[in-house]
Amino acid sequence: MSEIHASPPPTTVEPEDSSQTSDAQKSEQTEVQQQQQQQQQQQQQLPSSLEHHSKRPRSGDVDPQSTSRGKRLFGNLLGTMRFLLALSFIGAVLSATTTTTKTTTKTTTKTTKTKTTTTTTTVQVATTISAAPPATGTTVPTASPFKPGAGSVAPPTVVARTKTCTVTATGSDDGPSIKAAAQSCSGGGRIVLAGEYTINSFTDLRGLAHVDFYLTGTITFGETVAFWQTNVYQYTYQSAAAMWIFGGVDINIYGGGTINGNGQIWYDAFASNSNIIRPVLLVLDGVNGGAVFDINLRGSPFWNNLVANSTNIIYDNINIVSASTDSNLPKNTDGWDTYRSDNVVIQNSNINNGDDCVSFKPNSTNMVVQGLSCNGSHGISVGSLGQYKGEYDIVQNVYIYNIQMANAENGARIKVWPGATSSTVGTGGGSGRVQNVTYDTFTSTDISAGNNIVLTQCYNESDLTTCEANPATLTISDVVFKNFYGTSKKPLVGSIECSSAGVCSNISTENIVISSSGALEVDCLNVDATLLQNLTCISA
């Protein structure tokens, strides 16, 4: 994401680039309690930097062993994925077909806000992944980004639920009604949201199990900027916040409807006060097995999607528009931010925003991003990493494939803070590693000159002497940029600049086919120039 200048850690947002700115059923309670205990045991094996960065206690932590639709669909989806070293492709992983039959006795429960019924349905769920891309060539791929072919994961298939809870719009705050329906239908239900809803209060949808949110209508977040300053769930990581949170096991959101964050009031407010708390539009936190597909996101105040502390998630066919109607830009409106999560697929989506198309935050592992069309973005970014002193950040096993970039500030980007606290913004000095990241098949139009490929370990530090005196210690290895197509007004198409000898290894490029006025060049510092095919390495 592009960055804003904010207060010192741990409450800072990643700064702007200077160039741009339940009650659930008792049986489910027992299940979740057991899952929480096992999840805690697993977390003890993780680095300390993976600890949950929030001011309130978590709920909804779940066990990956839970028997659920989420497990059937995602549980082992990427678990056997092998990322080879820099020049390899992603291997084929689990292909599973599960048939589930549910037969129940019909019951009816009615309240002022929800309606519950029972259905009997037999469904079949099938999913495969084979992420190896087609053979590379020297011409621009003709395939649409919405048909990524061999790299595509089968979209989620709707599974029958045993209950249906319909939420009636009240014309005021519908948050409590949505929460009541979720609690009533948790344990195998489907919440129907077919009206025009308004949410005017923090809505906690964690601790759920085996539930679908079928949104065909519109949910709009109301109230004022001032109201939400004290009525959000506040994270300490990069000052993120949430107006609602989904959490639990086997949680799915779909239906073709729209979630509207009322973004313009936030863009205008932020233009005059950069210290305001801005909430993420859609947050999955502590979800094991879930999907978000066929959803429209409009006017996010901040990041559009945050997936945190979660595993086995698919996003498919998401349409994002974060646009301003005046001169106040929609800043920090990342399409997705992944944080402390594993096995996430983001695919077949269209993003129009004012920041990163996708950003892999600390401790993002086993990620596949493919078939995206990104307009007006700051690129697909690893990081920023190393922002907080004492934190160990990991981004590992990431495959980004078949991306179209238009009107972008950057294409593919890896951004790491210097090895000491920045003299200008007061953050930096963290450590960690980036390993096994592949950017494959990027087609770009109107990318800022020299920014098709960017790797920096002096992120957001204007004083280069600070970076030289305090080089980043976070290591970067086994990274490949290949099959890049487009045009550039100048021969310079990127920069690959590592802080010191030894921190970067096996950084390579191949088949960079960008039309320019001369032989393609890249700024280089502390990298092996012999691995940069199609590019002439020049001094940074």
Q: What number of other Cβ atoms are within 10 A of residue 529's Cβ?
A: 12
Report d(CA 540, CA 538) in Å as an integer: 6
Report d(CA 33, CA 31) in Å as an integer: 5
Closest CA to 334 of 262, 388, 264, 281: 281
3-state DSSP assignment of residue 66: coil
CA atoms within 13 A on the CB side of 356: 28
Report d(CA 402, CA 400) in Å as an integer: 7
Report strand pairing: 392-406 vs 196-199: unpaired
Report d(CA 436, CA 83) in Å as an integer: 7
Q: Quick check: is 378 catalytic?
A: yes
Are 193 and 178 a contacting pair, CB within 8 Å? yes
Determine the length of the chain. Answer: 540
The catalytically annotated residue of 52, 53, 210, 378 is: 378
Q: What number of other Cβ atoms are within 10 A of residue 519's Cβ?
A: 9
3-state DSSP assignment of residue 186: coil
Helix (H) or strand (E) holding 35: helix 26-43
Report strand pairing: 282-298 vs 258-260: parallel
Task: State both tokens at 525.
Answer: 């510092």
Backbone angles phi, psi at 175, to 5 degrees: -55, -50
Q: Looking at 51-174, list the stretches that DSSP marks H as alpha helix, in order from N- to C-terminal side.
A: 69-70
By the 10 Å C-beta count (0-12 exposed, 13-18 middle, 19+ buried), 257 is classed as: buried
Active site residues: 378
